[in-house]
Each structure stands twice: as C-alpha cells, then as structure tokens.
Amino acid sequence: AQTVTQSQPEMSVQDAETVTLSCTYDTSENNYYLFWYKQPPSRQMILVIRQEAYKQQNATENRFSVNFQKAAKSFSLKISDSQLGDTAMYFCAYGSGNTGKLIFGQGTTLQVKP
Amino acid sequence: DAGVIQSPRHEVTEMGQEVTLRCKPISGHDYLFWYRQTMMRGLELLIYFNNNVPIDDSGMPEDRFSAKMPNASFSTLKIQPSEPRDSAVYFCASSAQLSNQPQHFGDGTRLSIL
C-alpha cells in the first residue's frame, strides 16, 4: 500500500523569505503523480503544483517549486518570497496512475509572519 | 467555469437523523470523488464514480453510508442513521481523467452530529 508522510506538523517563516516543506512517500508503482494542495482557514482545497513521476524536471508554478527526488521518494515544496496569504495547511498527495486514488499526508501548518 | 459546488456548507443535526450531502461536479469531468476530513484520520477517500458508476467504495466506513450519482451533474452522500463520530468535513472533488489530471475540490460540508 502507498503511504505519504509529512514529518513537519507546523512551520513558520517570515514574509518575503523562503521555506521548504518536506514530504516522503512509499510505493511500488512506476506510474504515479504527486501533488501539493493548500488548505487556508477558509477550508478550500486548492491545487498548488503537480509533478508527473516520469518527468525528471522539477515542476514550478510562480513562487512555488518542488524538489522531486524519485529514488529517495521525496517530494518537497519550496515557497519563495513568502506572503501572508500563504498561511495555510499544506498537504502532499500521491496519485496512483493505476487506481487514480489520491493518498494524502497528514499536512503541515505553515504560518507566515509579518 | 464554475467549480465543484457542494451543499449545504454547514449541517448540524441530532444523532439518528438522516443526513444528505450534495455535490455538483465541474461540467465535463467524468470522475467524482467523496472525501472525509477529520483531525484524527486526515483526508480519506470514501468512494469515487466514473461516468456516474461507483468504481471503488472500499473507503465507505459502514453500511450507514451510501452514495449515488443519478446523472453527470449531481451526486449525494447519505448517512442514515447518523452518529456523533460521523462529525467531519466532507469534500467532493471532480477530475477530467483518473490520475494525470488534478482533482478539483468543492468547499466542503462541515457536518456536526449532536
């Protein structure tokens, strides 16, 4: 069975600085996708970034980028130039290419401080 | 284009009552997912549909839970009878494809069973 682990329950960062959120996963599948979702206090689940496992190039989306280490089964999220609006819980998710199921980590609460 | 629409946003009811949660997926999305989010268990997939047909309901906790999708634009998740341990946030999500397209989430229904 696939698992997703986020080892940092809480993190904080000063605005305008950079922060990295960690995520590791375990799988025996070759076909899968990885996602980071953001859940602000409003409760919405917002897609931040996605990565196809077959791609070596790390995905980037404006201030958000990932460091995908396939052999290590690691998928960290880097937020550059942090903004107050980035304050939220961040979930790493594994998407099986075979079943389509999303498996979520327990989440990391990020607080951006002014 | 409108996102995934869930109703109600909040539901408070007494133990033993029937609860019905509703979801309208994004038009053109063939896949619909129901999740439950709790502090203890995080985000869990309950069931998902493809073209209105239930494909995997292995996450449905017990027979008190049922889900239907009578057409491409509407799905319900029903709990009968409800219990206090069913209190959670229930999310509906939809996607255009099973795995390589991200799931788009509704705003969730916060359910409180007294």
Neighbours of A69 (CB within 10 A): 12
A85 SS3 class: helix
* pLDDT value for A114: 94
| pLDDT tens string A9-37 | 999 999 999 999 999 999 999 889 999 99
Contacts of A31 in chain B (CB under 8 A): 99
- For residues B92 and B32, the answer to whether their CB atoms sit within 8 Å is yes
**Confidence at residue A99, expressed as pLDDT on a 0 to 100 scale:** 81
> Is B107 in Cβ contact with A42 (below 8 Å)?
yes
Q: Do A107 and B42 touch (CB under 8 A)?
A: yes
Q: Do A47 and B107 touch (CB under 8 A)?
A: no
pLDDT value of residue A11: 96
CA dihedral for A100, A102, B70, B106, sign (positive or negative):
negative
User: What is the reported pLDDT for B38?
Assistant: 94
Helix (H, G, I), strand (E, B), or coil: what is residue B39?
coil
Residue of B nearest to A33 (CA): B100
Ranges in chain B, pLDDT < 70: 1
Higher pLDDT among residues A101 and A75, named by residue: A75
The Cα A15–Cα A18 span in angstroms is 8
In this prediction, residue A14 carries a pLDDT of 97
Question: How many contacts, defined by CB atoms under 8 Å, are there between A and B?
Answer: 49
pLDDT of residue B1: 61
**CA distance from start to end of chain A:** 41
pLDDT at A56: 86
Separation in Å, CA of B81 to nearest CA in chain A? 26
- Partner-chain contact B105 A44, CB within 8 Å: yes
pLDDT digits (tens, 9 = 90+) for A48-89: 999 999 888 999 999 999 999 999 999 999 999 999 999 999
